Amino acid sequence: MTKFNEEVLSRRTFAIISHPDAGKTTLTEKLLLFGGAIRDAGTVKGKKTGKFATSDWMEIEKQRGISVTSSVMQFDYDGFRVNILDTPGHQDFSEDTYRTLTAVDSAVMIIDSAKGIEEQTLKLFKVCRMRGIPIFTFINKLDREGRTPLELLAELEEVLGIESYPMNWPIGMGKEFLGIYDRHHNRIEQFRVEEEQKFVSLNEDGEIDGVHPLKDSPLYEQTLEEIMLLNEAGNSFSAERVSDGDLIPVFFGSALTNFGVQTFLESYLEFAPVPQARNSTTGKIDPLSTDFSGFIFKIQANMNPAHRDRIAFLRICSGKFERGMTVTLSRTGKPIKLAQSTQFMADDRSTVNEAVAGDIIGLYDPGTYQIGDTIVTGKDQFEYERLPQFTPELFVRVTAKNVMKQKHFHKGIQQLVQEGAIQLFKTVKTEEYLLGAVGQLQFEVFEHRMRNEYNVEVNMERVGSKIARWIENEDINENLSNSRSLLVHDRYDKKAFLFENDFALRWFQEKNPEIKLYNPMDRS
Ligand code: GDP
């Protein structure tokens, strides 16, 4: 195998999907510690305020005048190079959070054992499913009282509609947490014992041979019974189904006490997919092809008006990046020299000179790129598959404060919409402008950039959350539009209804069964 192939095949690129507080920051930090990318625990958790994480980049980026709310962390472990992409949540939830999932080859889903599947996890899970991205689950906080593992597993399969395979199984929980029964390695990993006693190997029947204190515990007996149940009635393991995204491997552990994290990491690396081939206008592009190519999945605007430059995040899909190389932007056919590039690390940002398929780099963007852009080298000029459209849930009505600024207003909206920062709709009858987003942050960024980049103050009037559904048969009676089911055009002039709530949607469908509605996120 060539050195280049070896490099590419060592890449594992994933995002963590979770609901706030499930333990994403804590787990990320522990993973980075294993990789030696950070020195001390607590580095990822905020230094000063305790509020921000390095994975949020806030402190560093504030100093540099750039707010990068999502980032990429890289570390080496056991011959692998791991790229973790942050998926911002809370107030920072935006279409970028979804788009990040287009740039990974797998996802790690963290679940709080006391809470089960929560709203944001479910949203992100659905995007992974729609993209066919394999998911690995880490059920966290076993050192606390939570729901029973069988209950959690049942919920996982029921709510997500996907089969799962527990790679390990907890022995007790909370105060009585004794460890995990590791089915994959046929051993028990004990919680809070001396390092030498940590692993207890099991015999062919999956039991402890000889004398061992664990055997006196009724929890051990219970675990054996549950394991038997899983062996008989549960799904069987299939590496192929895991990499196809049809079977979710489930791990139990406790990120905070760093228990089960290394076992998780090692099993993850064993089964996680290598950089995958991606669809393009000329068919699938092999990551091992030596022609460099990639696509922009996110553009981070600078929130500091003194520094207009932006960072475009590029997923390398094939070949090797070398600083200073000249590439072609497929949309325009124009050549670009990639002189300024950035690699994202946990501690600091450093200039990257080389990166290969599977890696993510940041390109200095004076306004050249749009989200979804493909860049290529080589004779073939192709474009990667268009990024999916994400259904907005929040809406505002937008106007320019000063009517004399209409020209700037339109130019600004047009460019920001094209860039993918926000979605634009026009009401059918009244031609009012509505902006749609998946998270509040997008409106704030929009307002800020309109002021600083286009010199326009905007009025944004809350319309609130709506259920957006596009219309299959476009020929529609405009009189069906009212405040509870508002008919709008999207930026491609496709018609959609914005429904007040679920009830309004159902009512409308009952009254108008001939109108076929769809959610683009259920499609791709
Ligand atoms: P994030 O919002 O998903 O990034 O969650 P954090 O990593 O910030 O964790 C949220 C809270 O849960 C913090 O107070 C953590 O200390 C705590 N936490 C994380 N993992 C564990 C765990 O394994 N056990 C316990 N008891 N607490 C945890």
Structure tokens at 94: 């935006």
Binding site membership for GTP: which residues?
Answer: 18-25, 86-90, 140-143
Ligand 1 centre distance from Cα of residue 315 (Å)? 29
Given this model, what pLDDT does residue 305 score? 61
Q: Is any ligand 1 atom within 6 A of the Cβ of residue 25?
A: yes
Ligand 1 pocket: which of 16, 26, 32, 112 to mutate (most atoms within 8 A of CB): 26
Task: Name the token pair of 112.
Answer: 């709080």
Give me the pLDDT at residue 379, please. 83
pLDDT at 330 over 80: yes
User: What is the tens place of the pLDDT at every residue in 350-364?
Assistant: 556 679 999 998 888
The pLDDT of residue 344 is: 52
What value does the mean pLDDT take over residues 217-231? 97
Quote the pLDDT of residue 37.
62
CA–CA dist 428, 479 (Å, integer): 10
Nearest CA to ligand 1 atom 14: 21
Predicted local distance difference test score (pLDDT) of residue 364: 84
State which of 144, 256, 264 you would mutate to test the pocket of ligand 1, scoring each by most atoms of that ligand within 8 A of its C-beta.
Answer: 256
Position 445 scores a pLDDT of 87
Does residue 187 line the site of ligand 1, with CB under 6 A?
A: no
- For the chain, give the mean pLDDT: 89
Q: Write the CA distances from 4 to 73, 287, 290, 309, 375, integer angstroms.
A: 21, 11, 8, 32, 20
Strand 394-400's sheet: what is its strand order?
Answer: 458-465, 394-400, 433-437, 423-427, 485-490, 495-499, 467-471, 517-518
The pLDDT assigned to 57 comes to 38
**22-31, 84-93, 105-114, 432-441: range with lowest mean pLDDT:** 84-93
pLDDT at 351: 58
Distance CA 41, CA 12 (A): 23
Q: What's the rounded mean pLDDT across residues 74-87?
A: 90
With cut-offs at 50, 70 and 90, classify the pLDDT of residue 519. Answer: very high
| Cβ of 114 less than 6 Å from ligand 1 | no
Assembly ipTM: 0.99
Looking at residue 281, the DSSP 8-state letter turns out to be T
pLDDT tens per residue, range 104-129: 999 999 999 999 999 999 999 999 99
What percentage of residues in the chain have a pLDDT greater than 70? Answer: 89
Question: How many C-beta neighbours within 10 Å does residue 461 have?
Answer: 11
pTM of the model: 0.90
Cα 25 to averaged position of ligand 1 atoms, centre (Å): 7
Most confident of 292-306, 348-362, 454-468: 454-468
Question: Does residue 64 carry a pLDDT above 50?
Answer: no
How do residues 263-294 score in pLDDT, each as one tens digit?
999 999 999 999 999 999 999 999 999 999 99
> Does ligand 1 have an atom closer than 6 angstroms to the CB of 167?
no
Question: Does 456 score more than 50 pLDDT?
Answer: yes
Please, which pLDDT band fits residue 190 given cuts at 50, 70 and 90? very high
Which atom of ligand 1 lies nearest, measured to the CA of 19? 3
pLDDT, greater one: 342 or 183: 183
What pLDDT, on the 0 to 100 scale, is given for residue 481? 93
pLDDT score of 414 more than 90: yes
Instruction: Determine if ligand 1 sits within 6 Å of the CB of residue 141.
Output: yes
Are 67 and 56 in contact by the 8 Å Cβ rule? The answer is no
Quote the pLDDT of residue 53: 41
In this prediction, residues 435-442 reach a mean pLDDT of 93
pLDDT at 475: 83
Q: Residues 331-351: pLDDT tens digits? A: 999 999 987 666 554 334 455
Ligand 1 within 6 A of 23 CB?
yes
Mutation test of ligand 1: which of 18, 21, 43 has the most ligand atoms closer than 8 Å to its C-beta?
A: 21
Calculate mean pLDDT across residues 364-371: 87
468-501 pLDDT per residue, tens:
999 998 788 899 999 899 999 999 999 999 999 9
pLDDT at residue number 493: 92
Q: Give the residue from 162, 333, 165 showing the smallest Cα distance to 234.
A: 165
Q: 217-222, long-range: CB within 8 Å, 24+ apart, which pairs?
A: 217/171, 217/172, 217/178, 219/171, 219/172, 219/176, 219/178, 220/171, 220/178
Would you say residue 60 has pLDDT above 80?
Answer: no
Q: Separation of 26 CA from ligand 1 center, angstroms?
A: 6
The yes-or-no verdict on residue 406 having pLDDT over 60 is: yes
In order of their start, the domains of the chain are 3-169+238-271 (3.40.50.300), 278-376 (3.40.50.300), 394-518 (3.30.70.3280)
